[in-house]
Amino acid sequence: MQITVSLHGVFRIDRFKLKTLEYPAGSDIQKVIDDLKIPVKLLGIMLINRVHAKSTDILHDGDTLMLLPLLEGG
């Protein structure tokens, strides 16, 4: 299946902004996080098709997954 992955903030450094990636059916968000070596301590927000999700949520063909760093205070 094809998943569009959109990265934000520091996750873009040495990776990409937006890319469509191929994944086996049944893959969850954690699989993408692991493959892209996203630092877990910085990962704050995961969205599937703009809806908040958690790392165990299963992805489906055509989904857009957004990964954003933590948001804490100014």
Partner 1 sequence: MKIQTTDPVTHPEQILYRRCTIDLKNGKQKMEDVPCQNLEDVLGGFGRSFQLLAERNISRAYSAENPLIINTGLLTGSSAMTGLRTYFSSYSPIKGSKAGLPAAMWSAGSGKFGCKFKWAGLDELIFENRSEKPVYVLIKETIDGPEITLKPAEHLLGLSTHKKIMTLHKEYDDAHFAVIGQAGENWQNVTMGSVALSTVNQLKSGDDKLRFAGRGGMGSIMGHKNIIALVAQSTDKHPPITKEVKEVHKQVITGGGSARLQPIKRGGGGGTWAAYDVMQPFHAVPVNNYRPQGNNLAEKLFRENVEKDYDIQSAACYRCGITCHNYISEKNPDGSRGDFIAKFDYEPLNLLSTNIGIHDPGQAGRLIHLCDNYGMDAISLGVTISYALSYNERHPENPLFNGATFGDYEKIRELIILSGEGKLPGIGKGSRHLSELMGETDYAYHIKGLEIAAYLPETNPGYCWAIAGGHMSMGSYGTLIREGLSDVDSWVKVITEDKLHIVGFDMVGLCKFFDITQGIGTDKIATCLKSDFNLEIEPEKIKAAVRRAFLLGLALELRQGYTKAEYCLPAEVTEKPNPHINLPNISNPEFMAELAEKVWEVFDKELEGLIP
By the criterion CB under 8 A, which residues form the site for partner 1? Answer: 6, 8-10, 12-13, 39, 41-42, 44-45, 50-52, 66, 68-74
Q: Smallest gap, in angstroms, from Cβ of residue 19 to partner 1?
A: 16
Instruction: List the beta bridge partners of residue 4.
Output: 20, 64
Q: Smallest gap, in angstroms, from Cβ of residue 18 to partner 1?
A: 11
Q: Smallest gap, in angstroms, from Cβ of residue 24 to partner 1?
A: 27
Query: Residue 38's CB: how many other CB atoms inside 10 A?
Result: 19
Q: Where are the alpha helices (DSSP H) in 1-74?
A: 29-36
